[in-house]
Amino acid sequence: MSAVAADEILLHGHRVRFHRAGEGPLLVLLHGIASTADTWAPVVDALAARHTVIAPDLLGHGASAKPRGDYSLGAYASGVRDLVAALGFERGTVVGHSLGGGIAMQFAYQFPERIERLVLISSGGLGREVHAILRAATLPGSELVLALLGGAWLRATGGAVGGALARLGLRTGEDLAGVASGIGSLADAGARSAFVHTARAAIDAGGQRVSATDRLYLAAELPTLIVWGERDPIIPVEHGRAAHAAIPGSRLDVFAGAGHFPHREHPARFVAVIEDFLATTEPAAMPESRWRELLRAAR
């Protein structure tokens, strides 16, 4: 990430690496499974012009620790809360891509007093369907297969990698690069274990098994933006459209021709959409009393 400071902090005895840039209202950027904070490189400088941007490597990913432990969405959300608090922030806008979207929704659910806005990008947790490559990671023995696959991936030529991913329905460009990079990272045993535990916490052989759809009504008073690639091969755009219909007042922006990484395929457009959303919405303020009212009204 250019012009962005990389730092680290110990939380509960585990190293958490994060990028920090800019000044102003807080933006927390959460990456997807088998990815890192570097996924935000094309957009972080522009976002940091008006905001403080914090982008961590989630536990089990990148240069952060990879302990044996809890890799559920709830644990990740608590870890984000602890990081934000340890860095001296009380509230902010949370932006999540793929797995990070599921974590962002869980953060909003667990800590509604700490979130001002929610941005979901090609988000998990909004429907059953997900690409077969992630479903396969949950099968018995997947650790051994991934160990072999990760090493072979690093030794393969670019053409071999591209051909293998094309047969899985992934296009050249950011979809291919993102998935190839993720698979390559699984040659590391710690990353591989964290990947499998993270996948199994949210996915089974039939698809995504953790869903936020029964709680989306709680976001009615939380400014919410949903961004999706029209040709996303990992999580279908229909999930984004259904979430938009279920969240009163939410915004949906579908990037024509884009895949699973719209923030990387169209960074200028992505920044413009985010900046417009931030400029034209008021940050939520959810007191405990109002949270209770929403829960009771849904009975």
Q: Which amino acid is at 3?
A: A
pLDDT digit string, tens, across residues 209-261: 999 999 999 998 999 999 999 999 999 999 999 999 999 999 999 999 999 99
pLDDT band at 157 (very low <50, low <70, confident <90, very high): very low
What is the mean predicted confidence (pLDDT) over 68-94?
97
pTM, entire model? 0.92
Fold assignment, 5-129+210-297: Rossmann fold (3.40.50)
Catalytic residue among 131, 260, 263, 266: 260
- pLDDT over 70 percentage in the chain: 89
* Active site (annotated) includes residue 260: yes
For residue 108, give the H/E element and its range: helix 99-110
pLDDT of 163: 57
Whether 175 is catalytic = no
Beta-strand ranges (E) seen in the chain are 5-11, 14-21, 26-30, 52-56, 92-97, 115-121, 203-204, 207-208, 224-229, 251-255
The catalytically annotated residue of 35, 64, 98, 193 is: 98
pLDDT at 165 over 50: yes
Active-site entry in 45, 57, 175, 232: 232
The mean pLDDT value for 28-34 works out to 97
**What residues does each domain of the chain span?**
5-129+210-297, 132-204
